[in-house]
Structure 1
């Protein structure tokens, strides 16, 4: 592979860009954690990131050189000549912690990113590998921040009281010494705003939606995947056509129909309409999985005298447990997070789902921390469910494979 003269500027350029990424990340984390205004210094980030990146990429001093570079970076930050500007109200401990965190993160991660860069000529593979590692690290930090920062703000705000929010609405640190007082908003949601009923309604409706969806989707997907009938190909291709029509377009006809039939503001009306939105996607997911299962196993069951329904129950479904877990979780999440139909069809607070109850908190008369606490209550269960069932979705994906 042809060698390229990239090394002399590859390591300082990547080091400078990576320092900008890390200094911005540390500044955001420390600002949210302490409430003090930490700021990244872009010019110094480029300068010192390029210098230390050049040293790491060219193996100047080895591990001792990296240690010296890290210590020097900490000193520069504390002297206000580094890539991170520390808030004026920050304590010495917090300032040192921020400086050490940035220096350690840059030295350790920089060693990984610039690992393949050696003095002299680089191959294109080595150059592209370094760039890919830089982009991978940036992607992890960027997309993690997009997810975690709003969640962090939501959780921290839910622990505040009204006076704290009025005094400093941008301070997202908390006083752990308050103890049980931190959960005051959560207690008031359950004691004054009937959130226990909302949780039960959402859970019950979501579970019913999963069972109804699977009851229709399993035989439908199996028929599309295994049986031969007229219009099979057209039906298979048109399963997801319903998603081409925005739900906001269907909402008004659904509202009128449910009002005329007396199903509006009805618990069972919601249970009837939710599967309509989930069955198509469940059909699409399951029929693709059923096609991937070996037909020979089912044919062997038929030859042994099993009926078609017995084959589905005893052979196909056990082999499809990973797919069923994925579909069930996906359908549960759709039903749990659905808002538009619940907002339009439910007016009785005793029948509110969790999303409908949270919408009722969006009022100038209700403190903002209650809205944030309600959002946490709606988010945490579905996160725990996903993390708990994740291993079941990847388990047994190769089950039922045919040897030979």
Structure 2
């Protein structure tokens, strides 16, 4: 019995190691590339033994990209700030609008309620190219092209449906009897929502907010069409590394490392809420 148990543990350990290597090796290789020059990266056969350099990160921070065709000004740090500002602002607005809406859909039954909820969800799954043409025309008429307000508005197509549907499920998992007992004590509906429903759904809210932030951070198409270089996030700004003299692989790798660092740090910080929030609905019985 002990021999079988030990064998199972060994097999489980080997499988877990294989999975970790499969998923983490590309990240490891990208990190190595970020400390190499283009000549080292393109060397055949590739090697993990090299003389590291910080020139790629220096180019990103200073905004001066050196290539065979000459120096090129890039605004990577500005693009990085744009990504953070657009994603954080979009998620904040989506939480303010989506949490009360999710509670209303979870607690109240009204005419066309499910149809409205499904319509909002369909925005999340609709191809971006489907709405880009009419959006670009409307944005030109309203003067929202190449503005932060316009991009944050469009990002609600990403964040709001996601938060609405995820948080709605957690509100439905909360027993209405808890809220009724609190209301009987003389508390208002608003106070019950703020003091009882929201704290109980906090893991789900945190998970939905984190996922919405990641999806907004990774968005590419909306900002590419509706914003110019000074408003574009880092996903679009990375196109600057594809120059006429070639592709700057080292700078791209360094840009990837700096781009994933904020979302990775946020995910590590909120992992307890993320795991708890995503698993809460799985035991609904």
TM-score in same-fold range (> 0.5): yes
CA distance in 1, matches of 2:251, 2:266: 23
Shift of the 269–234 alpha-carbon distance from structure 1 to 2, 3 Å rule, reads closer
CA RMSD of aligned residues (A): 2.8
Shift of the 257–234 alpha-carbon distance from structure 1 to 2, 3 Å rule, reads closer
Shift of the 267–138 alpha-carbon distance from structure 1 to 2, 3 Å rule, reads same
* Contact 1:239–1:284 (Cα < 8 Å) also in 2: no
Q: What whole-Å deviation, never above 9, does each CA across 1:356-375 have from its counterpart, x for those lacking one?
A: 11122233445221111111
- Is 1:356–2:241 an aligned residue pair? no
- Is 1:184–2:55 an aligned residue pair? yes
Alignment of 1:47-62 (within 5 A): none
Partner of 1:159: 35
> Which residue of the other structure, out of 290, 307, 310, is the alignment partner of 2:171?
290
CA distance in 1, matches of 2:23, 2:248: 24
Shift of 1:236: 4.4
Shift of 1:341: 0.8
Shift of 1:242: 2.5
Shift of the 164–253 alpha-carbon distance from structure 1 to 2, 3 Å rule, reads same
CA distance in 2, matches of 1:275, 1:362: 30
Partner of 1:249: 130
CA distance in 2, matches of 1:138, 1:243: 38
Q: What whole-Å deviation, never above 9, does each CA across 1:239-283 have from its counterpart, x for those lacking one?
A: 422244222222232223223332222222111110122211211
Partner of 2:80: 199
Alignment of 1:2-17 (within 5 A): none
Unaligned runs of 5+ residues in structure 1 are 1-111, 119-128, 399-404
- Is 1:368–2:249 an aligned residue pair? yes
Partner of 1:208: 89
CA distance in 2, matches of 1:311, 1:237: 27
CA distance in 2, matches of 1:222, 1:363: 50
SS at match of 1:350: coil
**Highest Rg: 1 or 2?**
1
Alignment of 1:137-148 (within 5 A): 139-148=15-24
> Which residue of the other structure, out of 133, 145, 158, is the alignment partner of 1:264?
145
CA distance in 2, matches of 1:309, 1:272: 27
Partner of 2:68: none
Shift of the 376–236 alpha-carbon distance from structure 1 to 2, 3 Å rule, reads same
Unaligned runs of 5+ residues in structure 2 are 64-73, 281-285
TM-score of the two chains, using structure 1 as the length reference: 0.60
